[in-house]
């Protein structure tokens, strides 16, 4: 019997035939453990604004002009789909969502505001601001829970408020909800807080640096067969400044007090078939025992292109409990107004008209020294098309010894996809009978938008205002707008 031996040359590896059974087992295993790859999306935006203009400042018996050379930079980021892509079949339960968003701003001034002997604090705003920064979750726990953690805003009946804290919302059946929040009020004196959050009329001393806890609770119905109801409460507390004495606290011991307690109620209902929608809103101030804001409205749709609205408004300015403005007489007012809107040419053209009567309630010490009535009227036209956008607004306000009338015309023409030109012309005349004087102001703006690349735009605007009080108020504005979303 002849024996056969295999031989492999030195330096040459022997090649084996692949095992079909191992390949099949690997493919089957990969199919069994297959899962879709996870990913998240993000958007980054940057905006740089440059301003150049002058401010008129009165120093004793003289007038000084402050040159402002201002640079403002914004940086925003939004990260979403952290729990998945967020896509669900139609009719399925909304998917859980988790996303993070923030907006930062840096403002600095290279102008001459530091030249006067006393620096101008109201425009001294060289600081870093965190405008918005929060982690938000939606439709968690099978759609029962929503939350927001971080810097956020509250806008009950246009009552602008910002706080750092946690808001939790429990979504119940039948479109019912309950929510609550707790945190600290955002104030200009705190680090990374914008100047817009300054508390009006407060002491301005070191007590403003103290943390002011805020808390709130709300509940209601969210659009159940056209019906919506929201009832909310918000309170804010703070520590009293040093030197004040409380009846319940020992001498020298700091004590806490409530600075703000507000109750909000808002409801609306859309009547089927009739397309009628009544609206109601109310803000009650517990500290002053007064209704600071009452809004009653009725909106009626007429056909496909017309809408009529009637409004009854009553408003009284409200302030923080520590504000000195609470010691002065504040004039509430009541207004009845009606408006009409008409859409034509496939909704490209919209015409509006509004007329209102307002009555002021003066302090008793003033008596009839000022005219208590005011009448307002306005006409507007708006045009929107793929290449042309235009607005025309005319207004008139008479009352309180002052009459103001004027108009404003704006237009934007898209020349090509990457270039748009815009302009504005305004004329406002005011007559104050108390000073037997009148002022007419003429304003002109010209500018444009240039799209360099996708997500990169440059805005340039030049404006001037001319009146008897100032020969010229020239201002130049430039904006570099960046947006990146892969």
Torsion of CA 284, 289, 291, 293, to 10 degrees: -60
How far does Cα 100 stand from its chain's mean position? 18
Banded model confidence at residue 4, pLDDT cuts 50, 70, 90? very low
DSSP H or E stretch at residue 28 = helix 20-32
Residues 6+ apart with CB under 8 A from 381: 349, 350, 351, 352, 390, 391, 392
pLDDT of residue 253: 59
The mean-pLDDT minimum among 145-154, 165-174, 182-191, 251-260 falls in 251-260
Q: How far is the C-alpha of 187 from the C-alpha of 209, rounded, in Å? A: 8
The pLDDT value given to residue 183: 93
Q: Is residue 467, in this structure, part of any structural domain at all?
A: no
Q: Give the integer Cα–Cα distance in Å for 336 and 375.
A: 10
Top mean-pLDDT range of 59-63, 112-116, 461-465: 461-465
Angle at 176 between CA 170 and CA 179, to 5 degrees: 35
Q: Which residue shows structure tokens 């009832």? A: 231
Residue 1: per-residue pLDDT:
40
Distance CA 273, CA 465 (A): 50
Domain-embedded: residue 221: no
Task: Work out the average pLDDT over 268-282.
Answer: 92
User: What is the average pLDDT across 412-435?
Assistant: 89
Residue 436's pLDDT band, with cuts at 50, 70 and 90, is: low
| Number of structural domains found in the chain | 1
* Mean pLDDT of all residues in 226-255: 73
Is 160 part of any domain? no
Report pLDDT for 14: 47
Residue 220 lies in a domain: no
Q: What is the pLDDT of residue 13?
A: 43
Confidence of residue 307 (pLDDT cuts 50, 70, 90): very high
Q: Is a pLDDT exceeding 50 seen at residue 264? A: yes
The radius of gyration of the chain from alpha carbons, rounded to an integer in Å, stands at 31
Query: 42-56, 141-155, 273-287, 363-377 — which is least confidently predicted?
Result: 363-377
Token pair listed for 10:
């030195």
- Per-residue model confidence (pLDDT) at position 151: 93
Instruction: Name the range with the highest mean pLDDT among 31-35, 99-103, 469-473.
Output: 99-103
Indicate whether 13 belongs to any domain: no
**Reported confidence tier of residue 5, pLDDT bands at 50, 70, 90:** very low
Q: What is the pLDDT of residue 422?
A: 96
Can you tell me whether residue 218 is helix, strand or coil?
A: strand
> Are 351 and 342 spatial neighbours (Cβ–Cβ below 8 Å)?
yes
Longest dimension (CA), the chain: 135
Residue 117 has pLDDT above 60, yes or no: no
CB 81 within 8 A of CB 101: no
pLDDT of residue 424: 96
Tokens of 431: 């007559």
Range of the domain at 107: 39-132
What average pLDDT does the structure give for the chain? 81
Share of the chain above pLDDT 90, in %: 40
Mean pLDDT within 43-60:
79
Torsions phi, psi for 202 (to 5 deg)? -85, 175
Q: What pLDDT, on the 0 to 100 scale, is given for residue 358?
A: 87
What is the DSSP secondary structure assignment for residue 15, as one 8-state letter? P
Let me know if residue 86 belongs to a domain.
Answer: yes
For 197-222, what is the mean pLDDT? 77
Q: Quick check: is 339 in a domain? A: no
Residue 68 covered by a domain: yes
Q: Is 427 or 18 the better-scoring residue by pLDDT?
A: 427
The C-alpha atoms of residue 378 and residue 281 are separated, in whole angstroms, by 24
Question: What share of the chain in percent tops pLDDT 70?
Answer: 75
Own/partner long-range contacts of 151-154 (Cβ < 8 Å, ≥24 apart): 151/186, 154/181, 154/216, 154/234
Which pLDDT score is estimated for 31? 53
């Amino acid at each position: 019997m002849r024996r056969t031996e295999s031989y492999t040359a030195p330096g040459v590896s022997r090649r084996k035939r692949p095992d079909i059974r191992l390949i099949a087992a690997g493919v089957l295993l990969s199919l069994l453990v297959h899962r879709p790859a996870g990913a998240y999306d993000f958007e980054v935006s940057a905006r740089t604004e440059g301003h150049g203009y002058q401010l008129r400042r009165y120093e004793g018996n003289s007038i000084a002009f402050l040159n402002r050379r201002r640079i403002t930079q914004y940086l925003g980021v939004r990260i979403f789909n952290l729990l998945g892509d967020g896509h669900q079949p139609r009719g399925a339960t909304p998917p859980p969502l988790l996303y993070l968003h923030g907006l930062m701003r840096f403002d600095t001034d290279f102008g001459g505001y530091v030249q006067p002997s006393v620096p101008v604090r109201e425009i001294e705003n060289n600081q870093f601001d965190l405008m918005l920064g929060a982690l938000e979750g939606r439709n968690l726990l099978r759609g029962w829970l929503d939350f927001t953690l971080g810097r956020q805003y509250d806008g009950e009946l246009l009552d602008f408020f910002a706080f750092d804290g946690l808001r939790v919302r429990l979504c119940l059946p039948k479109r019912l909800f309950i929510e609550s929040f707790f945190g600290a009020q955002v104030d200009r004196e705190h680090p990374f807080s914008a100047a817009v959050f300054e508390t009006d009329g407060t002491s301005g001393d070191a007590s403003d640096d103290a943390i002011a806890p805020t808390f709130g609770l709300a509940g209601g119905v969210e659009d159940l067969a056209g019906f919506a109801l929201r009832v909310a409460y918000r309170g804010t507390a703070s520590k009293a400044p040093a030197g004040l004495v409380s009846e319940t606290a020992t001498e020298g011991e700091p004590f806490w007090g409530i600075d703000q307690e507000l109750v909000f109620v808002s409801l609306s209902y859309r009547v089927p078939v009739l397309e009628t929608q009544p609206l109601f809103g109310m803000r009650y101030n517990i500290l002053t025992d007064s209704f600071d804001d009452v809004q009653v409205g009725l909106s009626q749709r007429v056909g496909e292109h017309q809408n009529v609205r009637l409004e009854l408004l009553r408003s009284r300015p409200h302030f923080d409990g520590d504000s000195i403005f609470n010691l002065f007489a504040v004039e509430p007012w009541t207004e009845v107004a009606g408006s009409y809107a008409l859409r034509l040419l496939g909704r490209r053209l919209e015409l509006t008209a509004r007329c209102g009567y307002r009555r002021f309630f003066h302090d008793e010490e003033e008596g009839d020294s000022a005219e208590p009535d005011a009448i307002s009227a306005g006409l507007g036209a708006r045009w929107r098309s793929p290449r042309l956008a235009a607005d025309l607004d005319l207004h008139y306000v008479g009352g309180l010894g002052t009459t103001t009338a004027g108009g404003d015309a704006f237009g934007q023409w898209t020349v090509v996809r990457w270039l748009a030109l815009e302009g504005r012309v305004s004329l406002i005349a005011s007559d104050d009978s108390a000073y037997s004087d009148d002022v007419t102001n003429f304003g002109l703006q010209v500018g444009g938008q240039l799209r360099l690349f996708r997500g990169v735009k440059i805005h340039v605007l030049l404006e001037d205002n001319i009146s008897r009080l100032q020969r010229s108020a020239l201002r130049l504005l430039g904006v570099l707008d960046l947006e990146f979303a892969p």
